[in-house]
Structure formats: structure tokens, C-alpha cells
Amino acid sequence: MKLICKYNDLNAYLDESNEVDYTHPLIQDKISDLFHSSQTEIEKARAAFEFVRDSISHSWDIQSTLVTCKASEVLANGQGICYAKSNLFAALLRSQNIPTGFCYQRLMLFDTPEKGYCIHALNAIYLKSVDTWIRLDTRGNKEGIDAQFSIEEEKLAFTVQKELDEKDYPVIYTNPHSKTIATLEEHTDALEMYKHYLPGYL
């Protein structure tokens, strides 16, 4: 799939925002742990990816009711759904001058169309050394899900099943989509939110 940048200016994918708050002291502490000056951009991207994928729990997987949104909240609590985890991943990489955007898929919420659909968030990052955008999914692996850091080919958490009305959205957004942020801000129970209130379309 050909990815489409919302903006041609790569600097737009480096901005700090309310959700991508990389100057927060907690984020800065984690930056000091994860990165050092001798790392290449690819090594930094991999380190951040594996940290968010493996060390930040997906709220549904651990059956937690806590809702997190801002990158600093996700880091402080060690959990979030995909919308929140993508904010943390973006914050870590943007702090290292690696352009990072937000991408989305429309997926079945569970295992059949009858159980509904949801919007799933992941990230796209631009690697100057290979002059390309790649999509990465920090959702978190479990049985049946094996997302990996890969430059040559995508190894995402989910493969879209178009015949079941799932969809890959090609746009790389500079900011988290307003529907996903509104969902996080309007709910206080992550499990109920996940089961009943995730948006089905962008």
C-alpha cells in the first residue's frame, strides 16, 4: 500500500502536542534510559518500538479499566490501548528528531463482523538513512499477534481482511485522529470503552 503524507513538511511530524508531550520529565527520563549518542536512527527506532510494544501493557490484554491518553500518562501507568501507546511511541521518536505520524486500520473488534468494528492505531516513521516511511505497530504481542520492527517488509499486528470489510487507511497523520482522542477523553472505564465505544470509521 502506498502511504500518503498529510503534510509534505517532515517538520510537522516532529511537533510536540498535548498528547505527544515529549518534554515531560517522565518522558525525558525514559529518553535518557533508551537512547545514547552513538546509536543510529534505526537503532533508536527499534529500541523505542520494542520498549513500547513489550513494556507498556495493552489495557485490554491485562483487563484494566484505567484509561490513559497522553504519552506521559501511558509511561507513568505502564499501560494503554493502541491509541495511547501510539502517542508514547511518537513522543519517544520525535524527541530524537525522527519524524513520526499516526496511521489507522479498520478492523473487526473481535473475531466476526457481527461483533462490530473498530479503528486501530499504529504509527509510521520516516527513516532518513533509507529515505522511506515504514509502519510499525506497538500494540503488544500475544498469541496470534507478532508485530516486529522491520524495514524491508511490514510485520504488523494485524493483516487487513478486505473481504470482511476491514481497511487500511493510507494517510499518515501528523496528530492523533480527533475521534480516537475524543474516545479516550470521554470514558473512564477502558474495558467498557473497548467493548462498546471505539469508533468504527475515521
Residue 168 lies in a domain: yes
Q: Average pLDDT in the 34-40 region?
A: 96
Q: Using a CB cutoff of 8 Å and minimum separation of 24, what contacts does 190-197 make?
A: 190/59, 190/60, 190/64, 190/65, 190/66, 190/67, 190/81, 191/59, 191/60, 191/63, 191/64, 191/65, 192/65, 193/67, 193/81, 194/59, 194/60, 194/81, 195/109
Residue 159 lies in a domain: yes
Q: How many whole angstroms from its chain centre is CA 170?
A: 15
Residue 112 lies in a domain: yes
Question: Domain range for residue 103?
Answer: 4-196
Residues 6+ apart with CB under 8 A from 172: 3, 4, 5, 6, 13, 101, 102, 103, 124, 133
Number of domains comprising the chain: 1
pLDDT at residue 133, rounded to an integer: 97
Q: For the segment 133-154, what is each residue's pLDDT rounded down to a tens digit?
A: 999 999 999 999 999 999 999 9
Using 50, 70 and 90 to split pLDDT, how confident is the model at 54?
very high
Residue type, 158: F
What are the φ/ψ torsions at residue 201 (nearest 5 degrees)? -145, 155
Answering whether pTM is above 0.95, one says yes
Q: Average pLDDT in the 47-51 region?
A: 98
Residue 100 lies in a domain: yes
Residue 201 lies in a domain: no
pLDDT at residue 1, rounded to an integer: 85
Residue 47 lies in a domain: yes
User: Among residues of the chain, what percentage have pLDDT more than 70?
Assistant: 100
- Distance between start and end Cα atoms, the chain: 18
Using 50, 70 and 90 to split pLDDT, how confident is the model at 119?
very high
Residue type, 73: E
Say how far apart CA 116 and CA 198 lie, in whole Å: 10
Residue 202 lies in a domain: no
pLDDT > 90? residue 178: yes
Residue 147 lies in a domain: yes
Q: Average pLDDT in the 21-44 region?
A: 97
CATH label of the domain that carries residue 91: 3.10.620.30
